[in-house]
Structure 1
Amino acid sequence: MTSLGNLNLRFTKVSGTLPAQWSSMKQLTLLHLEGTKVFGTLPAQWSSMTSLGNLNLRFTAVSGTLPAQWSGMTSAEALQLEYCGLSGCLPPEWSAMPKLRIVSLSGNHFSGCVPDSWVKKPGLVVTIEDEHKGSNCVSDNLCDTTTEPPTAPTTTGTPAASSTPSPGSGCEVDGCEVCEGDSAARCARCREGYSLTDEKTCLAHHDGGVAAASSGAVAAAAVWAAVLLSVGLAA
């Protein structure tokens, strides 16, 4: 799989942790896992994925901190990490990515402010809550720079319900699995059998109503997922 260029598994039933062994896919330029059931921490080893330009992990259950080592992703242009369970400081080292233009981080649990090195980087657009920006950065939201990032797990499997982070606990939207940010009345990701509407509510699938993804597409995505996750296990 070292020659794979694009991997798009958005809104499929793929689950498990992110394999550190995927760092061997040196030709990968696009990785989209948005809306899947992947969880665990972001592997620091992915810093060697020097061809990766676009990474999308929005609306997943990934957690932990942002690896400073990812500054080695020299081709990264867009890192979309919104509405996950991420926390900790924003690494100043990321400003060293020469092509980086978009960093989307809203809906997480970060501390501290957007680093000056990010602010001064020409053309970089950072999407995050105002409490982390410039003069709006609150004084009681200081970043603890002494905290070491957790070691990324390398095993795969389905997480227990009690260990899966939920960015929007206590959601009031029927059929919602993850709320949008701190809002209990707006959904970011619906449970299986529901579709997310423009009003951020969940609409149940019925015969003749909202159409679910075709079984053929889901099956194909599942086959790809099984093959790729086996790469991490076999390495």
Structure 2
Amino acid sequence: MQRLRNKVALITGGSRGMGAAIAERLAQEGANVVITYVNNAEKANGVVAKVRDIGSKAIAIKADNADPHAITSAVDSTIAEFGQLDILVNNAGIFSPKPIEALTLEEIDKTLNINVRAVVIASQAAAAHMKSGGRIISIGSNLAERAVMPGLSLYSLSKAALIGFTKGLARDLGPQGITVNIVHPGSTNTDMNPEDGEYSDMQRSAMCIPRYAEPDDIAGVVAFLASEEGKCMTASGLTIDGGTNA
């Protein structure tokens, strides 16, 4: 069953990890897909090829979330290519843990610009083109709700900010029939945090179910929120962390 047939989805940071899994899952559900990437055109083109093999249309756009003009340009390019935008997935983000005393102003600005400002700008630009039934879904983190170790102050701040933004934006866009939600992954098996990595046993020890999520697990929740089945969910946060935050 293709729940997203005739829909167009824009996924920021869609060239690898969770973003790539989300792009492929939404394509399996029938959506045409646009992904953004920063540096690795080869990986981005690989995701585009997989989406096209599934049977959906796809393009990749080079756009750095640190650049507000690149973000709005990606939205404009999506409209130019497909004539509509139904689903925005704010996936792109950075994670660089450091104790508070070691953070530089440049690092603070970079994290907040990519993890927070870019989400606001992308959502604003996308909402201007969305009709009733539109979906805005941000990828947060279970660390927004519970900082489980030192060095997370800036990252947790950036993801916690998205909770408030999600709730406020849901109020703004609800009258237009657009839903706004946030998904909070915990430890997920990607190249940034592999399940056999140096700190993976420590992370599993904090879980109720000691198993890393796979990117497809996150993608499945995003697909649900993007579908008609998620039409009554807005301003909600869904945590997928094996019970780490229990």
User: Shared fold by TM > 0.5?
Assistant: no
Looking at secondary structure, tell me which structure has more strand per residue. 1
- Name the TM-score, length of structure 2 as normaliser: 0.29
- Name the TM-score, length of structure 1 as normaliser: 0.30
Looking at secondary structure, tell me which structure has more helix per residue. 2
